[in-house]
Structure 1
């Protein structure tokens, strides 16, 4: 079976002991290198108020990455539309597309939106760990404690104008698409035209972690869909199934197109890869404990950190579904992910303390996958 494309998701991680500027320069360097290795696209995440993640302004980073590369597609994974207006998003990415035509992806996510209550049509979350076609699907993780934390409320307050309420995601998506097409009308019939933005040469994607609104909207609108195995592995099959079931052909796509993400660390041997990946659980714990992503520790720092059964339970789903090993080990696990989800493309995200190890991980994987 021909290997499907590999792409990159980058959070611009800040290693412990490094500065934000180091992380941003590493991002630009990594983009140049993975373009040479044969990766298809390079996406920048959006995270806020996290000492260990520098990708808080994806449009700015996309511009820097696109300017430093030649052929690789560059985009957002994903813009949190609940924090801005449809027009602002279209103008930002329209500007990027005008400067780098044919290379920009506008990935949209629901983060920052008002939460939508589950409906009877939503597939129920799985209750226990499963293995489906060789793919581990752990029990679902509950984010309820994070959503009620004071830091979550503070982030919302800082990201929104006082008293602002984002419109429903479906309405924002409709506005984004109308502004890009050039046929936007308000309730009174008054038109508006985004400059730059209208008729921009870019791809619009939706990203989602479940079989809920994002997956269904992507399908109904005939857009490509990115399913999030690396953050929400329990629900990836429900997400891709809901997308395919809702899919209607559009001017963009004649058939569904699914990209699936995975957390990966590759080294020359399994043992070396496990050593490089050892800090990952500590890093995930910092997020899930409510403090935001901490600077990524070194293997030595991780080994010195206290670790309890409670800590292990907090991060087990993420650690157990990280693909770690020698190139052939990880490539085989990625083939399982591809086959179980029917993915058309895989999105790989890798974090290590040392930038050279991260670059090497992507290079080793590409050589194994694309040979």
Structure 2
């Protein structure tokens, strides 16, 4: 099979809706709408937001509300969840929510599902009240959700209205081989979180391909990988901007919650050797530099993995610089129709 080129595949946007140091959630929402509108203009395929809770630097906790907000502010780009953390929700509620979104914005809504809580255990308890078996029941909950959003069945005792007959596209999200196998067995597209959990990427992609069964409309496996990208006019500028990304993941390593921090001239003195190693391991698939540098590294990643689509997260403090990064990268990929 010929080697894929970046111009052969689509690329998409992952937005965590970051709250910047000194700014508010309202500011984050304005930036998200602006970025989504630009992403649509530049030909990105999808615009996904992720469910996180109790995090001072992330404003996407009410993910469904934001999906509707962004979809209403755009006209063509697909908008979805990367993802909805299904253990936090009853499948029927998710079916009704996404059935409503897909009815309002037909042909534009994606439903990506994850099995992690997207938060700490105390907050997970506050969200669900009962933690017994929630994660272990993920496969059954996915099937239940698919049934609610499946063909109309007037005889069903419990129905998603709106929802049934809408056929919202489902994705399984994961950072291990568990979700990969489930996506394969259920014949669903699969998205891997290599932007923060790179170690199982190749194994998960192989498990997905090996276990894939064409159950529904998807006849061949379709895999997407998410990576971090910071592109700028020069390598030096990109490296400077990337210190915001490093600080964000340093907070993850330390378990501290802070708004997104502005870039610094050097990370020296901000982390010790073990913290630096941990952050660098998590950020293995981060491509930082000028357009030429990033294009070469993204092509190597595509050649290495053979994925069908790449999703890009861009943790940059300055909104204009973040827009510039996505603009530069958009030139490498196939444009969404």
Out of 350, 364, 370, the residue aligned to residue 314 of structure 2 is 350
- 1:202 matched residue in structure 2: 168
Residues 1:243 and 2:219 aligned together? no
Residues 1:99 and 2:104 aligned together? yes
Distance apart, 1:163 and its partner CA: 6.5
- 1:310 matched residue in structure 2: 274
Structure 1 unaligned regions, length at least 5: 114-150
TM-score by length of 2: 0.92
TM-score by length of 1: 0.84
Distance apart, 1:321 and its partner CA: 2.8
Out of 172, 177, 180, the residue aligned to residue 146 of structure 2 is 177
Cα displacement string for residues 176-225 of structure 1 (whole angstroms, at most 9, x for unaligned residues): 1111114789xxx963211011011421110111112x111110111110
Residues 1:152 and 2:120 aligned together? yes
Once superposed, what is the RMSD of the aligned Cα atoms? 2.1
Number of residues of Structure 1 aligned to a counterpart in Structure 2:
329
- 1:40 matched residue in structure 2: 45
- 1:63 matched residue in structure 2: 68
The 3-state SS of whatever aligns with 1:191 is coil
Instruction: Evaluate the alpha carbon distance shift between residue 75 and residue 271 of structure 1 in structure 2; reply closer, same or farther with a 3 A threshold.
Output: same
- 2:24 matched residue in structure 1: 19
* Aligned 8 A contact 2:56 2:259 in 1: yes
Cα displacement string for residues 58-117 of structure 1 (whole angstroms, at most 9, x for unaligned residues): 11110001000010000000100000111011000000000000000000011139xxxx
Distance apart, 1:295 and its partner CA: 1.2
The 3-state SS of whatever aligns with 1:205 is strand
Instruction: Evaluate the alpha carbon distance shift between residue 156 and residue 67 of structure 1 in structure 2; reply closer, same or farther with a 3 A threshold.
Output: same
- 1:296 matched residue in structure 2: 260
The 3-state SS of whatever aligns with 2:225 is strand
The 3-state SS of whatever aligns with 2:80 is strand
Residues 1:333 and 2:297 aligned together? yes
* Aligned 8 A contact 1:102 1:201 in 2: no
Residues 1:228 and 2:228 aligned together? no
Mapped partners of 1:302, 1:168: distance in 2: 45
Residues 1:361 and 2:325 aligned together? yes
Distance apart, 1:314 and its partner CA: 2.5
Distance apart, 1:43 and its partner CA: 0.4
Mapped partners of 1:331, 1:97: distance in 2: 34
The 3-state SS of whatever aligns with 1:106 is strand
Mapped partners of 1:369, 1:183: distance in 2: 38
Distance apart, 1:287 and its partner CA: 1.5
- 1:264 matched residue in structure 2: 229
Structure 2 unaligned regions, length at least 5: none
Distance apart, 1:370 and its partner CA: 4.9
